[in-house]
Amino acid sequence: MSAPPLPRTRIKICGLTREADVDAAIEAGADAIGFVLYPKSPRAVTAERAAALASRLPPFITPVLLFVNEDAPKVIASLAQVKGSIAQFHGEETPQQCEEATGPDRFRYMRAARIPLGDAGAGFDLVKYASDYSHAQAILLDAHVEGYGGGGKAFDWSLLPPAVDAHLVLSGGLTPANVGDGIRILRTRCKTLSVDVSSGVEIDGPGNKGLKDAGKIRQFVAAVRAADASFSS
């Protein structure tokens, strides 16, 4: 008897700041759209701007709001303002703080795990981390670099545990060229796998953070779908 097919890899395009990029992500087939509500980020937008951009989304595409050590009342207000959104906590938030910041309505959230670069990645206890944040909808895997966010860096995916009882979201340094390798390495190690890209689909050149390339978005989605197809071939 053959094993049941693996669920498809879901895709989030993050760090969007323009209407055209939201539309390009929708057209390409993204499942989620990310808005950075961390004022120090070059991709930062306000909750009001995120709400305006998210209003362009059709049904069944989820807006995700990224926060870094933000006060709980502001997180709750932002989630309420961007209808249907979920939170992504990317700072030093404890499990208790994540719960407090989702408010009495219990907005859903993801928690970012910052995985050290190089061989040090083997020392990160992802199984314990996922257990500590068991109320998170998913654990997002990003590279641990100075500041917050992966900085376009990829950690060593092969060093992660062989089995994690959580939904995982692979992020950090993903591009159309390498996302397939990440999926093939991690897809059978967790409940489900999603991928999250930002800098890997941006327009080339300095000063273009937050400005996406529609062609790269299409290439990224196509690479994900090709990796999924390789599991059933």
Residues marked active site are found at 14, 142
**Which DSSP symbol is given to 75?**
H
Give the ranges where the chain is alpha helix by DSSP (H).
Answer: 19-28, 47-54, 72-81, 95-101, 126-132, 179-186, 214-232
Phi, psi of 191 (to 5 degrees): -60, -55
Distance CA 192, CA 216 (A): 24
Q: Count Cβ neighbours within 10 Å for each residue of 43-70 and write b for 16 or more, e otherwise.
A: bbbebeebbebbeebeeebbbbbbbbeb
Report, in this order, helix, strand and coil percent for the chain, each rounded to 5: 35, 20, 45
Say which residue the tokens 């999603």 belong to: 194
Phi, psi of 168 (to 5 degrees): -115, 150
The tokens for 166 are: 């959580």
Q: How many CB atoms are located within 10 Å of the residue 4 CB? A: 6
Q: Write the single-letter amino acid at 104.
A: P
